[in-house]
Amino acid sequence: MRLKLSITFVAVALLAGIALVYIQQAKATDPRSQPVDVSVVVDHGAVVLTDPGRLLFRNEAPGPDYGKVASVSLSDPQGPRRISQLRCERFYASAGQGLCLADAPGPLPSATLATLESGLTEVKRIEVAGIPNRAKLSADGRFASWTTFVTGDSYTKTGTFSTRTGIMAPEETDTNIEDIPLRIGGRTHRAEDVNFWGVTFAADGRTFYATVSTGGQTHLVKGDLEAWHAEALRENVECPSLSPDGTRIAFKKRVAQDGARPWREHVLDLATMAETALPETRSVDDQAIWLNNSTVAYSLPDGEIWSASADGSGVPQLLVRHGSSPSVS
């Protein structure tokens, strides 16, 4: 009996020690517990979605403000940043509206999606399954879209994941586009491995573009919300982003099968289907945005936001250190 009690005591002590080490390691790796990055200057002004000429983004600087929505002036993007109290995994702003996709507590991966008004005031909230991945608003702020991973945690290897992508129109709630009728190569396509992600909206209020993956291939698809159908236009296009004038799409193209540098950002002319590689040669795993009709911005995995010319000329320019999920107010 004494031997059993001794063994039980040792086992409990060992488990307690492991738990303590785990907690200490978790605290050590949590960016919110790290010292504040002194290179980031904070302006305590409010983050407002209707301030013109500002870049909004997710703050990635270590410290207590990690993950909160922030903004900087586009005329001085590495200058003082305003930081809100709203924390999101993905954030997007357009036409004075905001979209926050955040992790939700619970035993299973889940998220909350909140639509926001000018002062980051919440208008509507819905619960969605999965791990936050993409968030987007239409140019007029009326349509929202989001993507979550619902099984697996990466699309670095095609076929090892499953996504859930929704579109929320005015006066509606969650609309899953996974069941939209799809045509590939002029034929109706039905398969269990169909996954959509990375929606971007046209200005007409009904047309959208997205990525679909099926049969080990990714495709750019053009969809119609009113007619409720989608057509594949081109292979090897991921995370499309439509230009303000509606003529081009920025996208990430798979250029390697290894996980180190699998993608390169390109721009596709929708009229000619000619593509142009951006001067950024580092791997971009992001749904880029357009600062204007000639400049694309994107975040890199190291937590920095860069911009590059859409015509492939010049060199990339650093916009914001310690930032992700950029959008323009």
* Residues in CB range of 238: below 8 A, 6 or more apart: 155, 197, 198, 211, 218, 251, 252, 253, 254, 263
Residues 130, 134: Cα–Cα separation, whole Å: 12
How distant is the alpha carbon of residue 255 from its chain centre?
A: 21
Residues 23, 40: Cα–Cα separation, whole Å: 28
Element (H, E) at 5: helix 2-29
pLDDT value for 16: 39
Element (H, E) at 4: helix 2-29
- Cβ–Cβ under 8 Å, residues 120 and 69: yes
Residues 273, 133: Cα–Cα separation, whole Å: 27
pLDDT value for 157: 52
Dihedral angle, C-alpha 263, 266, 268, 273, nearest 10 °? -70
Burial class (CB in 10 A: 0-12, 13-18, 19+), 270: middle
Question: What is the chain's mean pLDDT, rounded?
Answer: 88
Q: Per-residue pLDDT tens for 107-142?
A: 888 999 999 999 999 999 999 999 999 999 999 999
Rounded to 5 degrees, what are φ and ψ at 68? -85, 155
pLDDT value for 38: 61
Residue 29 φ/ψ region, left for φ over 0, alpha for ψ in the -120 to 50 degree band, beta for the rest: alpha
Q: Which has the closest alpha carbon to 92: 137, 125, 59? A: 137
Q: Which has the closest alpha carbon to 257: 214, 216, 295? A: 216
Token couple for 3: 């031997």
Residues 58, 325: Cα–Cα separation, whole Å: 6
Handedness of CA 117, 120, 124, 130 (dihedral sign): positive
Residue 205 φ/ψ region, left for φ over 0, alpha for ψ in the -120 to 50 degree band, beta for the rest: left
Q: Which CATH class is domain 36-328?
A: mainly beta
Token couple for 193: 């491995």
Q: Residues of the chain whose pLDDT is less than 70? A: 1-29, 35-38, 152-161, 171, 173-174
pLDDT value for 47: 95
- Cβ–Cβ under 8 Å, residues 295 and 310: yes
Radius of gyration of the chain (CA): 21
pLDDT value for 52: 93
pTM: predicted TM-score of the whole model, two decimal places: 0.86
pLDDT value for 159: 47
